[in-house]
Amino acid sequence: MINYTGQYMDSLRSNWVLYASTDIEFLKGFLLSGCRHLATVSPTKEFSSLTAQYKLQHLRDLQKAISERSVESSRAAVAKALVLASDDVAIRDMGMAASHLTGAINIIKAAGGPEALSLSNLVKCILFSCVYGKRLLDWDPSQPSRDVPLGFGIEDIKSF
């Protein structure tokens, strides 16, 4: 998930479940991811149904967060979009993953950048990894430029 070496990054990479568990949106994402995994390894109607329910609820929650237009809802919307992008990668829908990542970036830009939203270091690292590590934007043909400024770069990551 996170591809950078450094003392803080090593700690973040080793303890990402602990860090993510402090964010309600990522906790909800764990439920989606867990159901997705169970539906894959034990394809039953129950797990497939739960996966669809969690995904639809996450999409509805994202729409609601975007419409509220507050700093808190924008911050939550970024995390929700990243969860959805991760789920899209899990089902190999790279185009939709790119769309959710682009949405997260647009939310950040509209809010005035990552500092204006007070994004957590974990969210910044996941964004950085999705854009520059996984290169998810390469799957989005509507993106004119693959080098999307996020308002932070490798130097900011090093300073965490």
What is the band of 66 on the pLDDT scale with cuts at 50, 70, 90?
very high
Task: Please give the share of the chain, as a percent, with pLDDT higher than 90.
Answer: 31
The three-class DSSP label of residue 147 is coil
Average pLDDT taken over every residue of the chain: 78
Over the stretch 86-139, which tens digit does the pLDDT of each residue have?
A: 899 888 888 899 999 999 999 999 998 888 888 887 788 888 888 887 778 877
Instruction: Return d(Cα 23, Cα 133) in angstroms, integer.
Output: 23
**Domain ranges (residues) in the chain:** 7-158
